[in-house]
Structure 1
Amino acid sequence: MKNTFLNKVKGLLIYTLIVSFAFLTTQVFSRSTSKEMIFITQQQQIKGKVTDENNTPISGASIQIKNTNIGTITDFDGSYSIEASTNDTLVFSALGYKAKEILVNNQTSLNITLDKDVTALGEVVVNAGYYNTTERERTGSISSVSAAQIEKQPVNNPLGAIQGYMPGVNIVQNTGVPGGGYNIEIRGRNFINGNTEPLYIVDGVPWGSQSLGVAELSAGINNANISPLNAISPTDIESIEVLKDADATAIYGSRGANGVVLITTKKGVEGKTQFKVNLSSSMGKVSHFLDLMKTPEYLELRREAVINDGYGTQLENSAYDFVWPDLKTWDQNRYTNWQKELIGGTAVRNLAQLSISGGSAQTQFLISGAYQKETTVFPGDANYKKYSLHSNINHVSKNERFTFNMTANYTKEYNQMPRTDLTRSAYTLPPNAPELYTEDGNINWENNTWDNPLAVLDDDYVAEINNLAANINLSYQLLPNLKLIGNLGYNNYQIASYRLLLSSSRNPSFGFTPEGYSSISTNDSSRDSWIIEPQVQWNKEWGDLKVNVLIGSTFQSQTTDQLVLNGTGFPNNSLINNIAAASDLEIRSSTNSVYNYQAFFGRVNFKVLDKYILNFTGRRDGSSRFGPGRQFGNFGAIGAAWLFTKEDFMPSDSMLSYGKLRGSYGTTGSDNIGDYQFLSTYNVTGYEYNGTLVLEPSGISNPLFGWEVNKKLEVALELGFIKDRILINTAWYQNRSSNQLVGIPLAATTGFTSLTGNLDATVQNTGWEIDLNTRNILNENFKWTTTFNISIPKSKLLAFPDIENSTFASTYVVGQPISIRKLYKATGVNPETGIYEFEDYNDDGVITSLEDRQWIEDLAPEFYGGLGNTFTYKNLSLNLLFQFKKQKAFNNYRQQAAPGLMQNASVSYLNRWQQPGDDTPLMIATSGLNYSLNPSRDQFRQSNMAVSDASFIRLRNATLNYTIPNQASEKFAVDVYLQGQNLWTLTNFDGPDPEHSSHIILPPLRQISLGAQFNF
């Protein structure tokens, strides 16, 4: 890879400086802390710990002797130490919590629990990206998940930690294979091109979520989609905010059309140097096995199928042994449960993390390092490793006018997975298939009668990923009302992967040799990006009017390089790792692209009497992905809020303690189409003609397309009852996306499959979101809190002129969601012939794809949400999160429509047609050799019968945590926890998983984790 060595050296130097500086800071400020922050008197010493309602330590809480300036703050684990006299009163306080006053008397140990001050919502800071606001004063739609919730889940990807927690955010895991990613939709799918990826911002730096993996190298294991978000360790995250409506996202302009995900990592904490060690071990298993046929049932169905196809006499002829080995040469009494054999293993994940934090009131630091190793449920020793280093330094000058914040993250991933996912073989291999190994331990080919699924383990797939991200945020208070802000960020993402295909891993009957078959494919890719954002913030008050103005600009550049090579033909397999030894070398892909982005943005916020709030945001974006004259787009929004419970007409003793009506309207856009789509592009073929390198056209020019536009409208009502012990937020939204950027299909005679352009089509997403939080029981020893959210989305293709005459006629229907599937309507099995029949919509006597696929099924969720409960008794806490979803999905018939093929299937396939007059759901058994039956079975796979209800209620997450009391020293604490993920699912869906109906890719695993966290 180009500059790989230099980039690694550069990353190493950066981290050497960070670590050196941080440890120097540790020595200097750990000394100063003890002098500056603990005020010594000649009184008795009091020690203790400050926690919240969930028994989570509160770091940075203030402990002050009442009516004095003497005090201290809690350390990283919530512990403190202070000297006071017996008649002193200690005041315990923290931002967002109710203060407590405790008379010392003769007590030397005081453990304090602070209750969240939900009546002071205005003090709870919410990260809105370019600015901070509060829960009470925000005018936009922002959902948030804290570190306390994220840390309770044994997940590798930040998106896995917010599943079920946020209304309007639908997240589905792609695969149970380590390193895989997630699909996310924020308030539905806005664009026809299928892109639903939001903008990810990590500590102020845009984070590319698109993998640079190559699908042909991974051959179906889904590692081509190794998510770059895996580089962000969930244990390093302080909070995740999701911005949804126009008011919250318009300041991000074209980048916020699908929403914005803000990830904030942990920062240094003021106090004495603290050490935290987190050790955990997890076990993962496939949560559900299909009820497949045993050997007698399978063989009965197979023989019947061969006879039905007219080959009954050939079954007695040994000359046809090779056609039906399962019926003739394989052991007729053997039974292997291939699900347990191929995907029934235990995936083990071990995690070790050490963090060091501390500093003075002026400078704080944090260094965190982690190592993780995870195996798979497949046979063999495939594994995924991750090394991560997270560091942060905060500094504020003595006069508090200058602030400096630097965060850096470095992650190295090593992913060595099987080249092929064995899930399909686990579900479809005949139950009497041969043994995997011979008696002497070699791969068993059973006289070349089958393809041994474990042979692919001899092949090799390895991906090595390096990710470096750094951010510096500077601010200077130039005048009392004027602040200058600078945000600088850098991100380098590299992936080097290769795939080996060996002749020795193929059935010997094919006669493959290293010279003719063995190959190596390599992918060397990198993505380099930087961002600079100067900003000016101005605040002013005139009596009851407060004005906040933010003006800034963005300069961003991203460079992507990719080189994919394929070498074929080697003298022997021992030389296959040396691509120079290949007899045929081909350049599969060679790409170098540059993306430049520039923007100017602004925000003006007005507050009148602290109860009327008006927020204006605007942005002008410029993108290099559009042609001349179309590179700039304007986006903006207006948001308003009315805190009506502050009005004089509201009684002070009302059960309604908090009420806010808010709304917003605005536009965002999208340029997510890839680079150079407006130009004619060419690919390097890897071949030469008369010594000249041959190029081939890869894209056709269209300089006329422009920005996609998403218009967003929202109205919301937020209420609090009984001193805010019950909080409920209800929102209705409407998003309309137009000027759709898609690949418009072209005729084959043009030499191109599609042309990038704008479609005059409009997609509308509407929906309701409800978010409920209650504090049910709050007493000294026992606490019970509940969270509930539900989303009810609706989608519609509002307009698409002349769709009937376009190539999209077979996919979309005006007035229907864009998530629909147009299918045949199966009317059942003909009782006389045993063949599937379908509704002939145009009555022409022939079932054809375009005219008769008119049955519509919507596969988007009807509603979804989550229900969480937290129970705390003294030092013991239990957290439960149930996720639910109402939806439809493809079932087993999508994979296999006819009984009798040479592959196993559900026992339900025994209910097939056998003789005239039978009324059955499945057709006549066929071995696949009666080709006249193929059209019927293929159409059945694309019919309404291949869709069924896939609704579910799932125990998504459960955590049991116990803090071990340490009487000897309050400075040392141990938390022991037991975590579970995907533990239990209630569903009627007959498939691998209701959210993952594919029989080809490994479904998400059930995870159980045991761990301990040591704080000292």
Structure 2
Amino acid sequence: MKKLVNLFSLLLLMTGLIGFAQDTVSGVVSDADGMPLPGATVVVEGTSIGVTTDFDGNYAISASEGDVLVFSYVGYVSQSVEVGSSSTVNVSLESSTALEEVIVTGIGTQERQRSVASTVTIGEEVLENLTFISPDQALNGRVAGLRMANISGTPGTASQIRIRGESSITGNNAPLFVVDGVPIQNGSFGGGGTPSIGILSMINVNDIESITVLKDASSTSVYGNRGSNGVIVITTKKGSAGKVTYQVSSSYGFQNKAVEGRQPLSGAQRMELAAEMLQNDFGFSQEAGINWMLTNRRDYRDWDARGRVDTDWAKLVSNPDAPIQSYDISASGGDASQNFRVSLGYKDSEAVNMGSSFESISGSVAYTRKFGKATISTSNLVTNGKQLGQLESTAYFGNPNLTKFFMPMTEAAFNPDGTYLVPHPASMHHTLYLLENNIYESDVTRALSNSSVTLDLPVDGLKFKSTFALDFVLNANHDYQNAIEGDGVGEGGVSEQAVSRRFTWSTINRLEYSKVLGDNDHFISVVLGQSFQKNKNHSIYAYGEAPATDQLFYVNSFPANRDAGGAFSDWKVLSYLGVANYSFQDKYIFNFTWRNDGSSRFASGYRFGNFFSYGVAWNISNENFLADNSVVNNLKLRASWGEAGDQNIGLNQYQSLFAYSGDYDSQGAFSQLHLVTRLFRGKNQRNLMLL
């Protein structure tokens, strides 16, 4: 009996020791100013044990001595603290103005002080305070060496972007766009009289965390045959650990022309100028010249019969205080093992001239889940946009931008009863009538999907990441021109419809290693990767003329001169890459990149090319002799050399085609249309910069 009591006492003692070992650790999580951070996440590293702080930043979690607590909060730098003998751990998190300290290259991330490249990052703090239809507008005026031009007044159209000038006289000079590490198709959809929606307009600005511009070959050579014109890397928002938070934002504004430009001559001024011409050329007196104009010129005769009332065409076609509005709602949250973010957005913008607008609705879903050493992540964006693009028809005389300059004030817009004066007697088309009775419409749906699996391998600092991505764009264009006024009169009305589809899928596999060695003196990182991307384009169109009535708009109701056609194209890119970085005490930086690209745009035997870059940097401000300097807080000297290629040539141009259209010594001659042995067009850059 005594032995049994002793055994029972020993068990109670062991139970007490176990309970003591698994103690409760508590504390407060605050920012650098001492303000509590409610909803901050506290996780025991390597376990699924986690809690969130209350409204006052307080937390309590079960942890043992020697465990590591990881504290994280949205917008702040995460911090790890080892549990000691004390049961109280208070933590102060620093604000992660981190986007300015970390560069997202699309291949990975890199601390700015360890970079040798020329880059600029536009962070969320800029994006969330501005209203844009297309995310590339956020770069305008904020990136040195980047020039942007809006080649159309229609909202939603693609901007012309050039980074450090033009790299080709005949080729495409647009930069490469990369979303969450995957190159995407840029440009626009549309042609002829139809609108052209910029593909980037199909990404909601409020779903973007940052935009990074890679400007020099040291940073772009890692993109090989597509990096010669610069690279713009877009990182979308993901979920984060913490309580579910909701964000609602809305904006409403107005747009007007920055400069009205020259004011057209009034009818009286125009007639006076014409009379002066008659006086100078034919000896008319001023009065005789005016009388001749009123007698022999139809426009002045009609203007005089109306009581010489001027028609301000510029005012009629303008859209003052053109509205631009956006509405977004999102929810995000998670815990130690998973997080999510969902969003829904709506945007609408009208042009400063009548007849052009862009409207879109978008949604996104991002989800991340940890399973031990594996992490699964997916990010999906879907947008539907509709554009009305009368302004895109720049070659037509019904364009509102041309009306002000080509339609004189002597020409009337309306009949005495208030109806439109059509057919209009002037050589110009009646813009207002075309705006109401023609159709220039484009409807685009775009879906971007990016899913990845990341494995932490047994070697410390080594991980493997595999990504599969889809980029799908479906576009429908409709161009209708009425039979009463405009370019469709001669054909009795014209309708053209087109549907095109772009589908791109990508696989990316990377082995990444990073390690701090010694007494935090040496930092090395190595990336080895392989990727494959394939694109397919399908398009069909139909054309018809002369409908039975002007209330029919689609090709199946246009029986005359029907025509139809279709097209198909595809291309593929296979790539291998290697990136190595070394830093000593964050003072002396060395970088090397290599990429081997193969493109189906070139002939067999000429499809592969190698692209290299080397770079060194010296963080002078990290030297001891500047440690206490209050004037200089960042001073770096860097030098780099890099090579990037350009595959932006037409598809199938390597095929050996011949034309029998030349002559030699008055005899017929063959000529080769394309260069079969065309190689990658390379771009070398050398940079030396002190900043």
Range class of TM-score, shorter chain: 0.7 to 0.9
Write out per-residue CA displacement over residues 943-996 of structure 1, whole angstroms, 9 at most, x where no aligned residue. Answer: xxxxxxxxxxxxxxxxxxxxxxxxxxxxxxxxxxxxxxxxxxxxxxxxxxxxxx
Match of 2:513 among 531, 538, 541: 538
Give, in angstroms, the shift of residue 344 of structure 1: 4.1
Match of 1:912 in 2: none
Tell whether 2:173 aligns with 1:196.
yes
Verify the 8 A CA contact 1:601 1:617 in the aligned structure 2: yes
Match of 2:687 among 714, 719, 724: 714
Equivalence map 1:865-904=2 (5 Å): none
- The 3 A distance-change label for structure 1 pair 699 and 314 is farther
Verify the 8 A CA contact 1:599 1:620 in the aligned structure 2: yes
Give, in angstroms, the shift of residue 437 of structure 1: 2.7
Q: Secondary structure at the match of 2:534?
A: strand
Give, in angstroms, the shift of residue 83 of structure 1: 6.5
Amino acid at match of 2:603: G
Give, in angstroms, the shift of residue 443 of structure 1: 1.0
Match of 2:479 in 1: 499
Match of 1:241 in 2: 212
Verify the 8 A CA contact 1:52 1:58 in the aligned structure 2: no
Return the alpha-carbon distance in structure 1 between the equivalents of residues 434 and 108 of structure 2: 52
- The 3 A distance-change label for structure 1 pair 320 and 555 is farther
Match of 1:591 among 567, 572, 576: 567
Match of 1:416 among 365, 369, 388: 388
Match of 1:406 in 2: 378
Return the alpha-carbon distance in structure 2 between the equivalents of residues 328 and 311 of structure 1: 25
Match of 1:461 in 2: 440
Return the alpha-carbon distance in structure 1 between the equivalents of residues 42 and 649 of structure 2: 54
Tell whether 2:440 aligns with 1:479.
no
Return the alpha-carbon distance in structure 2 between the equivalents of residues 447 and 712 of structure 1: 57
Give, in angstroms, the shift of residue 649 of structure 1: 4.9
Match of 1:557 in 2: 534
Return the alpha-carbon distance in structure 1 between the equivalents of residues 174 and 341 of structure 2: 31
- The 3 A distance-change label for structure 1 pair 318 and 174 is closer
Match of 1:522 in 2: 497
Match of 1:669 among 642, 645, 658: 645
Equivalence map 1:635-674=2 (5 Å): 635-650=611-626, 652=628, 655-674=631-650
Match of 1:607 in 2: 583
- The 3 A distance-change label for structure 1 pair 322 and 131 is same
Give, in angstroms, the shift of residue 630 of structure 1: 1.1
- The 3 A distance-change label for structure 1 pair 554 and 117 is closer
Return the alpha-carbon distance in structure 1 between the equivalents of residues 301 and 595 of structure 2: 66
Match of 1:389 among 352, 363, 375: 363
Return the alpha-carbon distance in structure 2 between the equivalents of residues 186 and 449 of structure 1: 44
- The 3 A distance-change label for structure 1 pair 643 and 520 is same
Return the alpha-carbon distance in structure 2 between the equivalents of residues 74 and 311 of structure 1: 93
For structure 1, the 5+ residue unaligned runs are 1-38, 65-69, 85-90, 100-111, 683-697, 718-729, 731-1016
TM-score using structure 1 length: 0.56
Match of 1:859 in 2: none
Write out per-residue CA displacement over residues 739-762 of structure 1, whole angstroms, 9 at most, x where no aligned residue. Answer: xxxxxxxxxxxxxxxxxxxxxxxx
- The 3 A distance-change label for structure 1 pair 323 and 164 is same
Tell whether 2:679 aligns with 1:703.
no
Give, in angstroms, the shift of residue 489 of structure 1: 0.8
Amino acid at match of 1:402: A
Amino acid at match of 1:529: T
How many residues get paired? Answer: 616
Match of 1:345 among 320, 323, 330: 320
- The 3 A distance-change label for structure 1 pair 469 and 550 is same
Match of 1:16 in 2: none
Q: Secondary structure at the match of 1:269?
A: coil
Give, in angstroms, the shift of residue 281 of structure 1: 1.6
Write out per-residue CA displacement over residues 514-551 of structure 1, whole angstroms, 9 at most, x where no aligned residue. Answer: xx331111221111101101111234555344432211
Amino acid at match of 2:464: L
Return the alpha-carbon distance in structure 2 between the equivalents of residues 52 and 152 of structure 1: 24
Verify the 8 A CA contact 1:255 1:669 in the aligned structure 2: yes
Instruction: For CA contacts below 8 A with separation 6 or more, give which structure has more relative contact order.
Output: 1
Match of 1:470 in 2: 449
Verify the 8 A CA contact 1:321 1:329 in the aligned structure 2: no
For structure 2, the 5+ residue unaligned runs are 1-23, 44-48, 61-70, 80-90, 659-670
Verify the 8 A CA contact 1:251 1:618 in the aligned structure 2: yes
Match of 1:617 among 568, 576, 593: 593
Verify the 8 A CA contact 1:199 1:255 in the aligned structure 2: yes
- The 3 A distance-change label for structure 1 pair 622 and 607 is same
Return the alpha-carbon distance in structure 2 between the equivalents of residues 245 and 310 of structure 1: 63
Give, in angstroms, the shift of residue 270 of structure 1: 1.2
Amino acid at match of 2:433: A
Verify the 8 A CA contact 2:294 2:301 in the aligned structure 1: no
Match of 1:371 in 2: 346
Verify the 8 A CA contact 1:314 1:320 in the aligned structure 2: no
- The 3 A distance-change label for structure 1 pair 123 and 263 is closer
Return the alpha-carbon distance in structure 2 between the equivalents of residues 437 and 80 of structure 1: 69
- The 3 A distance-change label for structure 1 pair 643 and 210 is same
Verify the 8 A CA contact 2:41 2:51 in the aligned structure 1: yes
Amino acid at match of 1:350: Q
Return the alpha-carbon distance in structure 2 between the equivalents of residues 455 and 629 of structure 1: 57
Q: Secondary structure at the match of 2:114?
A: coil
Larger radius of gyration: 2
Match of 2:141 in 1: 164
Write out per-residue CA displacement over residues 800-831 of structure 1, whole angstroms, 9 at most, x where no aligned residue. Answer: xxxxxxxxxxxxxxxxxxxxxxxxxxxxxxxx
Q: Secondary structure at the match of 2:457?
A: strand
User: Which shifted more, 347-356 or 386-395?
Assistant: 347-356
Write out per-residue CA displacement over residues 293-352 of structure 1, whole angstroms, 9 at most, x where no aligned residue. Answer: 333322211222344454957875699645554686564632333322212433222322
Give, in angstroms, the shift of residue 708 of structure 1: 0.6
Verify the 8 A CA contact 2:645 2:682 in the aligned structure 1: yes
Match of 1:260 among 231, 234, 254: 231
Write out per-residue CA displacement over residues 589-620 of structure 1, whole angstroms, 9 at most, x where no aligned residue. Answer: 63211111111110122223442221110001
Return the alpha-carbon distance in structure 2 between the equivalents of residues 351 and 59 of structure 1: 29
- The 3 A distance-change label for structure 1 pair 598 and 330 is farther
Report % sequence identity: 25
Tell whether 2:248 aligns with 1:271.
no
Match of 1:333 among 293, 298, 308: 308
Tell whether 2:277 aligns with 1:302.
no
- The 3 A distance-change label for structure 1 pair 558 and 699 is farther
Return the alpha-carbon distance in structure 2 between the equivalents of residues 61 and 151 of structure 1: 22
Q: Secondary structure at the match of 2:314?
A: helix
Give, in angstroms, the shift of residue 378 of structure 1: 3.5
Return the alpha-carbon distance in structure 2 between the equivalents of residues 186 and 268 of structure 1: 32
Match of 2:654 among 675, 678, 685: 678
Return the alpha-carbon distance in structure 2 between the equivalents of residues 537 and 444 of structure 1: 70
Verify the 8 A CA contact 2:50 2:336 in the aligned structure 1: no
